[in-house]
Chain A
Amino acid sequence: MKKNIFYKIFFGYLVIICLSFFFLDLFVRDEVKNLLTSKIETELFSYAQLIELNSSEKIAKQLNQLAKISNARVTLIDARGKVLADSEKDAAVMENHLNRPEVQEARLKGTGKSVRYSSSIGIDMLYVAVAVKDGREITGYVRLARSLRDVQNVIERVYQSFFLAMIIVGFMALVIALIFSYSLATPILAMERFTEKLRQGHPVGTILLETADETKKLADNINYLVEELQSQIRLANEEKSKLMTAFTSMTEGILILNAEDKIEFVNQALSNIFSEQYGDINGKTLMEAFRNVDLQKAFLDFKQTRINVSCEITLGNIEPVILSVSISAVHGYPEEEKTMIVFHDVTRLKKLEQIRVDFVANVTHEIKTPLTAIIGYLETIKSGTTVNNNDAKRFIDISLKQAQRLNRLLEDLLVISKIELGELQFRFEEISLRDALEGVIPLVEAKARLKKINIHDDVGENMPHIRADRDRFAQILVNVLDNAVKFTSEAGDVYLEAVQKDNNAVLSITDTGIGISKEEVQRLGERFYRVDRSRSRDLGGTGLGLSIVKHLMIAHGGRMEIESQLGRGTKVSLFFPIHKA
């Protein structure tokens, strides 16, 4: 950088210097030469004319003297060109001089001159010739010659001074170029280092320059830009971190597709929902990631219009997740429009909704069934015409039975709502599992005997005491045992076992009955939920038994677990907290 600037300045100067000398030479050299030559010429002419005034004989005699005075070579030539006398050479050996240009010129004009390179001396010579006249007729010529060595010498001296000046100026130019380039390069270099650091992302402050020229202004602008840029970056980062925090902390799943419809971003909530089932879905298309027809259809709809689309999809087969999906556009640069998809898990909501709908339908149905029977029979009795006493008694019996059933149903419902509202009073005490069972098993034994079902009571004496309400405990067991007997076919078995697990006494009731499918096990304990509607009502239930058990177990601080296999049987495990003595 510095070198570059230096070279540019220095060579610039050098060119200017060389050019100026070149033009100086062009204009001065000829001028000086002409000036000096014409001066010598004038001098020689005046000598020649002086010499010409004498007669030829006289000249020939004084030739050497004349040459000395005029400081020139003097030659006397006759009209035909023959050399009569010469101050430096023997005239006898000299050739005819008539055709010399200065002689020719003198023959025509009276005077003549010529500059020629003299081969005999090896230098430029100035020849001047004057015609010697006798009246009108030319009788001969006087020629003077002088070397131009002096002229040459003067010019050489001038050029020597020129050359010296050139070297001095060149040296000065070098120094000035160095100073200039240094003062120019320093701020530029500083700015370069500064921007380089900025480019590499290192933290930079401001750039300070001690100059006051354009570079200062440039540095100020750079400072301003850096400041602006950094505040923009800070702002963008802040916005980004706000958004990312929102994305990662919200419970809704968020997914962003890039312009090529590939998944670019998945937030934590969504990857939690899907990671097990779908693995890493980054960089895949929607279809590859979820393979869901409804979602793809919604997405294609959205792509056509780019208007927000909402839909509901079900993912997974065994444990389906119901998601409410909304697709919207992320506005970006043209050709780079991204898509955001928000997933909201509504599985629980849907389930609750289903339970509520079922509950209302069931409760009305359960109440309506006995009422229809009661009303029917009562109307028959009221009409009074076709009934005899026996029939009337039978009708009233049936009506009473149905009314009792209705009453039982409402009582059960009341119990549940009381437990839920916390209004049911419990008298918790320390009871022995063994003793409690003694009181309960006879209650269902009669029914079991009818179906030839064996109840195997394998509960040992040494089980720790549990904390329970004696009456409610009986209610729980009766309900569960009743179910076990009810749903086991003739000559089946019901096993009662107890084990201690952690802080719980686990009483399990296993039957060899019809069993319940996996999906339906989850719904047991819902009010009025029946696995097989037609059959269990025949067996005389209200549909609230297990629901009551479930709630009572919760009130006892325990829980109920059900395992079942279709066609093999069901195992109900009751977890009672152990009384801590």
Chain B
Amino acid sequence: MEEKRHTSSHYEIELQEIKNGLIYIGALTEKAIQNAMKSLSERNSEMAHKVITDDDEIDKLDAEMEEHCIRLLALRQPTAIDLRFITTAIKVTGHLERIGDMAVNIAEKVIQLNEEPKLKPYIDLPRMADLVVEMVNNSLDSFIRNDLNVAEKVRQTEQITDDLNEQIFRELLTFMMENTKCIHRALLIMHVSKNLERIADHAKGIADMVTYMVTGENVRHQTRDDSAKEPA
């Protein structure tokens, strides 16, 4: 009896460790996006370089987290919510790692952008960045609190970032048509915007996994189907 209680509480500690580790990776990626966007608005290439080097830590932690999860699956053979939690953790850490990579992509483009004069004041881009950071933030919140409402909010915001990306694309297109000299810069900014949009997709992916973890229901393809049907 004593022995059993001891092991189960140890098991709980291990689950908590996974949770904490995930939040830690989440915090790192959030910071990476923020710093990448800050390096763009403040034209600070040094900060952009730091984003690129800091990504190594995210990659390393991602690998460790995955191994940790698999070991737990093998040793404890969890069931029901615990099983879903661990499988979700594996997927969430993958999403976070990809988000980190995208922050690196943005930082690389920022370094190139900073070598040339500013094309125009950024208006929609910072707004989009704020939204995306909020989405990542909320998706992690929903994971921590098992909060389906927040997860739903993330899914809804994803559409707005898609629209913003579209808008930025059109705006830059007119710039490029007016002045061929700015094509390079406009394309770089477009890359940044595209990466932000993809980060939003990953945030939505995390929110979907949280819904799966809490309810056991897979909503990923269901919502994609719905949104695909809507325009038709």
Contacts and interface: CB of A to CB of B under 8 A. Distances in A.
Interface string A112-125: 00000000000000
Query: Which of A291, A292, A515, A566 gathers the greatest number of chain B CB atoms within 10 Å?
Result: A291
Given A566-B121, A567-B123, A291 B30 contact: yes
B217 interface: no
Interface in A276-329: 284-285, 287-288, 291-293, 296, 317-318
Nearest to B9: A260
B27 A291 contact: yes
A284 B145 CA distance: 10
Given A291-B26, A291-B140, A514-B121, A285 B31 contact: no
A287 B24 contact: yes
Nearest to A292: B27
B20 interface: yes
B175 to A, nearest CB: 14
Contacts of B123: 566-567
B14 to A, nearest CB: 13
Contact of B23 (A260, A287, A317): A287
Nearest to B23: A287
A288 B20 contact: yes
Classify chain B: how many residues form its interface, as a range: 20 to 34
Interface residues of A, number: 16
Interface string B17-52: 001100110111011001000000000000000000
Contacts of A287: 19-20, 23-24, 27
A247 B122 CA distance: 45
Contact of A285 (B16, B28, B30): B16
A473 B175 CA distance: 43
Contacts of B31: 293
Nearest to B38: A317
Contacts of A293: 24, 27-28, 31
A285 B23 CA distance: 10
Interface in A491-529: 514-515, 517
Contacts of A285: 16, 19-20
A187 B27 CA distance: 67
B34 A317 contact: yes
B81 interface: no
Contacts, number: 40
A567 B20 contact: no
A335 to B, nearest CB: 13
Contact of B19 (A260, A288, A292): A288
A63 to B, nearest CB: 94
A317 B30 CA distance: 10
B121 A296 contact: no
Contacts of A566: 121-123
Contacts of A515: 121
Interface string B125-147: 00000100100000010001000
Contact of A288 (B28, B122, B144): B144
Given A317-B133, A318-B130, A291 B121 contact: no
A297 B133 CA distance: 22
Given A317-B133, A566-B121, A566-B123, A296 B19 contact: no
B124 to A, nearest CB: 10
Contacts of A514: 121
- Most A CB contacts (10 A, CB to CB) among B13, B27, B122, B133 go to B27
Given A291-B140, A318-B130, A296 B24 contact: yes
A535 to B, nearest CB: 12
B42 to A, nearest CB: 10
Given A293-B28, A567-B123, A288 B23 contact: yes
Interface in A20-69: none
Contacts of B13: 260
A293 B144 CA distance: 16
Contacts of A317: 34, 130, 133
A171 B123 CA distance: 108
B149 to A, nearest CB: 13
A296 B16 contact: no
A563 to B, nearest CB: 16
A118 to B, nearest CB: 76
Interface string B97-141: 000000000000000000000001111000000100100000010
Nearest to A518: B126
A567 B28 CA distance: 33
A559 B59 CA distance: 52
Interface in A229-243: none
Contacts of B130: 317-318
Contacts of A284: 144
Contacts of B19: 285, 287-288
Nearest to B16: A285
Contacts of B34: 317
Nearest to A284: B144
A288 B17 CA distance: 11
Contacts of B122: 566
B23 to A, nearest CB: 4
- The 3 lowest CB-CB distance pairs between A and B, nearest first, are A287-B23, A287-B20, A291-B27
27 contacts: A285-B16, A285-B19, A285-B20, A287-B19, A287-B20, A287-B24, A287-B27, A288-B19, A288-B20, A288-B23, A291-B26, A291-B27, A291-B30, A291-B140, A292-B27, A293-B24, A293-B27, A293-B31, A296-B20, A317-B34, A317-B133, A318-B130, A514-B121, A515-B121, A566-B121, A566-B122, A566-B123
Given A287-B27, A288-B20, A317-B133, 16 more contacts: A260-B13, A287-B19, A287-B20, A288-B19, A288-B23, A291-B26, A293-B27, A296-B24, A317-B34, A317-B130, A514-B121, A566-B122, A566-B123, A567-B120, A567-B121, A567-B123
Interface of B: 13, 16, 19-20, 23-24, 26-28, 30-31, 34, 120-123, 130, 133, 140, 144
